[in-house]
Amino acid sequence: MTARAETVGIVGAGTFGSALASVLARVGRRVIVWSRDVAVVDSIQTRRRSPRLPAAALGDTVAATSDPRELASEARFIVLAVSSTNVRDRSRELGDVLDGSHIVVHAIGALASPTNERVSEVMVQGLPTLKVGVMAGPALPADLAEGEFSSMVIASMFDEVVAEGRRLLNAPPALRVYGSKDLAGVELASALSGAYTIALGLADGLGLGPGPRAVLITRAIAESSRLGSAIGAEPKTFAGLAGLGNLLVRASGERSADYVLGRRLADGIITADSARTEGARAALTGCELAKTLRVRMPVLQGLAAVLLGKLDPRDAAQLAGDQVANEE
């Protein structure tokens, strides 16, 4: 195969993009990272480190560029690893340089606001290719950078996207990639797992104990599955890697910004930054989507109220518990 077919392009040199580049480099995969920040590009090229995740060593097979045309010419398979707030602009920029032969998957754990669209829906509005997908699952950047075992799922309506994603992104033993055709389900499960990670951080911060924690996890999967069914996703997806797997790993320690946010909310720290993690954005946009589709999600709605400063965390926990009990 050509070098272009064997190269993975990564849009964004943030924590996940840098960690993924590091993992792929360790198995000899050629990677080109596109960043709009010239200083970041220079750091990768000269010091083999991204300032966004300095713990991740970037081998000689990793290159960086600030020119999207170079990314397009060097890689056919591209991973979009930017914030949900930037996905629309980056897709439009890529739309000027990509063509129908490119494959683009995103690793964005949120819905796109303010339209409450799935990220893949926003991507196809700006890209010249319909071959899009999502990668999601319990793979924290710090774990990837350290070579800890992680797994993800790649989903698309196109078999070629899944097959190429699994071929190019598998990097055992640090990263194993599985496949799915449930694009909508994997996207929504990934987004909502970030939101419910905040809820679990909040519950742990309030000292609610293992029993209520277990109930919260089961209700999170039930709620997200309900919303998934309303958009045509497969309910079982939410109990898989992108949903339950993601939630269990992200809510197991201090390596997730969403979990840390939940602990801060439990301490009464509610600031303008409280809605700036991807999980917080997913909670707010997910609530709007649920409202539009008339799907009851009391846990998510309570969390959104806390994030907006409309409800005290303890009152939210009590209210959500009462509403859940009424559903049984």
DSSP assignment of 234-251 equals: -GGGGGSIIIIIHHHHHT
- Average confidence (pLDDT) over 143-171: 95
Confidence of residue 319 (pLDDT cuts 50, 70, 90): low
* pLDDT number for residue 323: 56
Tell me, yes or no, whether 245 and 276 share the same domain.
yes
- Pair of tokens at residue 72: 């397009």
Q: Which residues pair with 8 in a beta bridge?
A: 31, 77
> Mapping DSSP to helix (H, G, I), strand (E, B) and coil, where does residue 208 land?
coil
- Boundary (domain end) residue, out of 153, 181, 209: 181
Residue whose pair of structure tokens reads 């600031």 in the numeric block: 271
- Inside any domain, residue 47: yes
pTM, to two decimals: 0.93
**Which pLDDT score is estimated for 95?**
95
Q: How many domains does the chain have?
A: 2
Joined together, the tokens standing for residue 304 give 């959104």
Using CA atoms in the order 75, 165, 194, 186, what is the torsion angle rounded to 10 degrees?
Answer: 130
Per the prediction, the chain carries an average pLDDT of 91
Give per-residue pLDDT as tens, 102-138: 999 999 888 877 777 899 999 999 999 999 999 999 9
Residue 326 predicted with pLDDT over 60: no
**Whether 36 and 61 share a structural domain:** yes
Q: Would you give the distance in Å from CA 307 to the centre of its chain?
A: 19
Q: Among residues 122, 251, 241, which one has the least CA distance to residue 185?
A: 241
Mean pLDDT of 285-300: 94
Do residues 37 and 177 share a domain? yes
Is 85 part of a structural domain of the chain?
A: yes
Tokens of 241: 């890697």
Q: Per-residue confidence at 282, pLDDT binned at 50, 70, 90?
A: very high
- Residue 105: give the domain boundaries: 7-181
Of 146, 181, 216, which marks where a domain is finished? 181
* Surface-to-core class of residue 289, CB atoms within 10 Å of its CB (0-12 exposed, 13-18 middle, 19+ buried): buried
Where residue 231 sits, what CATH number does that domain have?
A: 1.10.1040.10
Mean pLDDT for 159-176 is 96
pLDDT band of 1, cuts 50, 70, 90: low
pLDDT score at 202: 92
Q: Last residue of a domain, which of 181, 210, 240?
A: 181
Alpha-carbon gap, residue 150 to 131, rounded angstroms: 25
Neighbours of 208 (CB within 10 A): 18
**Tens-place pLDDT, residues 41-50:** 999 999 999 9
Residue 244 has pLDDT above 70, yes or no: yes
What pLDDT is stored for residue 267 in this prediction? Answer: 87
% of the chain with per-residue pLDDT over 90: 79
Q: What is the CATH number of the domain that holds 55?
A: 3.40.50.720
Residues 319 and 293 in one domain: yes
Dist. CA 222–CA 235, nearest whole Å: 9
On whether both 115 and 258 belong to a single domain, the answer is no
d(CA 120, CA 104): 9
Q: What span, in angstroms and rounded, lies between the C-alpha atoms of 76 and 248? A: 33
Structural domain includes residue 2: no
Percent of all residues in the chain with a pLDDT value above 70, rounded to a whole number: 94
> According to DSSP H, which parts of the chain are helical?
15-26, 38-47, 68-74, 87-95, 119-126, 141-146, 159-169, 183-205, 210-230, 246-250, 257-266, 278-293, 298-307, 313-327
pLDDT average, residue stretch 145-169:
96
Evaluate the omega torsion of the peptide bond into residue 210 and state whether it is cis, within 30 degrees of 0.
Answer: no
> Which whole number is the average pLDDT over 288-304?
94
Q: Are residues 114 and 230 in the same domain?
A: no
Do residues 167 and 239 both lie within one domain?
no
